[in-house]
């Protein structure tokens, strides 16, 4: 989708460049043939270029509208949605890390307490028979 939009944009830029070059070439031929004065030729080219600049803003507006329609149709997250999601993920990771740290500390404490409270082994008294003595 993005590739298609880039191609459309580059095509538009290419068309404007070709049109501008052709316009300048045509005006130069008219001046060389004496059908236009240099002042008139310069004015025609300047008017054409200013018209292109005004159309450029209109063209960009149309492209922005098309892109916005596509984004809304596809239901892609906006930049702010994406930033919000990144912040939430960061918070959840921090929360998870805190919980894991707490669990591991509790395990260590539980093991330490368990070692201290383990009952001592019962001593077995060996009964000796008179022969063993």
DSSP string for residues in 45-98: HHHHHHHHHHHHHHHHHHHHHHHHHHHHHHTPPPHHHHHHHHHHHHHHHHHHHH
Contacts of 74 (CB under 8 A, 6+ apart): 1
Residue 90 has pLDDT above 90, yes or no: yes
pLDDT of residue 126: 59
Q: Averaged over 3-26, what is the pLDDT? A: 78
pLDDT one-digit tens code per residue, 99-129 = 888 888 777 777 777 666 555 555 555 566 6
pLDDT one-digit tens code per residue, 26-78 = 888 888 888 878 888 888 888 888 888 888 778 888 888 887 787 778 777 78
Per-domain residue ranges for the chain?
Answer: 2-116
């Amino acid at each position: 989708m993005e590739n298609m939009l880039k191609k459309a944009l580059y095509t538009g830029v290419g068309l404007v460049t070709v049109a501008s070059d052709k316009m300048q070439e045509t005006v130069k031929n008219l001046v060389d043939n004496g059908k236009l004065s240099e002042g008139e030729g310069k004015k025609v080219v300047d008017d054409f270029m200013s018209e292109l600049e005004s159309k450029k803003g209109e063209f960009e507006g149309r492209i922005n509208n098309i892109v916005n329609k596509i984004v809304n149709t596809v239901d892609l997250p906006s930049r702010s949605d994406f930033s919000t999601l990144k912040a939430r993920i960061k918070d959840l990771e921090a929360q998870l890390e805190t919980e894991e740290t707490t669990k591991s500390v509790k395990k260590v404490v539980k093991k330490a307490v368990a070692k201290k409270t383990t009952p001592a082994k019962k001593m077995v008294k060996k009964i000796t028979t008179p022969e063993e003595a």
